[in-house]
Chain A
Amino acid sequence: EDQVTQSPEALRLQEGESSSLNCSYTVSGLRGLFWYRQDPGKGPEFLFTLYSAGEEKEKERLKATLTKKESFLHITAPKPEDSATYLCAVQPYASGTYKYIFGTGTRLKVLA
């Protein structure tokens, strides 16, 4: 069964304290892995797409990496405005459509 697990569920960091969020996945053929940011009461905002093991993408203080079993979202020197829930989703080849499987997210709180 295709599955996505994110850890930790919640993370509190001091401003400037770098860390990583994990997204482990089990899928029968990966078309793509996606990272989203979601602020409270709003829809998710697209961050990155990763397609194959070894690939990396960066945007400001965020860097996403991908292996054959998991993806990491590294946050370097975070600021309070980085506080949000970060969602991971995978798109299996077998779906035949653009259906994604979402993880439950990591709630990040960055303290000033």
Chain B
Amino acid sequence: DGGITQSPKYLFRKEGQNVTLSCEQNLNHDAMYWYRQDPGQGLRLIYYSQIVNDFQKGDIAEGYSVSREKKESFPLTVTSAQKNPTAFYLCASSSGVANYGYTFGSGTRLTVV
């Protein structure tokens, strides 16, 4: 079955440490996205990519970095510059036909310890 796989499901980060969240899709979708979800807030866009080797900052890109070397993969690195990284991170993808909506992964919960 086609879908989006995020790993790990739970991740713990120490102060000053960079961590990378994995996102892989086998839907042959061109566009991929990273969102952050915090209690009481809507999903906020971190980065998005519409094509391989190209990506754009979203609304809250500071302290995060991404790469898009393959169509299937869009990893997110949470750097030590992100001061409040504890959140639920969601990866999504969409086809070139915009109105079919996003397909989301199952999420990664990141906690700073």
Contacts and interface: CB of A to CB of B under 8 A. Distances in A.
B71 interface: no
B98 A91 contact: yes
Interface of A: 4, 31-32, 34, 36, 41-46, 49, 51, 87, 89, 91, 97-105
B42 interface: yes
Interface in B70-113: 88, 90, 92, 94, 98-107, 109
Nearest to B109: A41
Contact of B100 (A42, A49, A102): A49
26 contacts: A4-B42, A31-B99, A32-B101, A36-B104, A41-B88, A41-B109, A43-B90, A43-B105, A46-B101, A46-B102, A46-B103, A49-B99, A87-B42, A89-B43, A97-B31, A97-B50, A98-B31, A98-B98, A98-B102, A99-B48, A99-B58, A100-B43, A100-B102, A102-B35, A104-B40, A105-B42
A48 to B, nearest CB: 9
Contact of B99 (A32, A99, A101, A102): A32
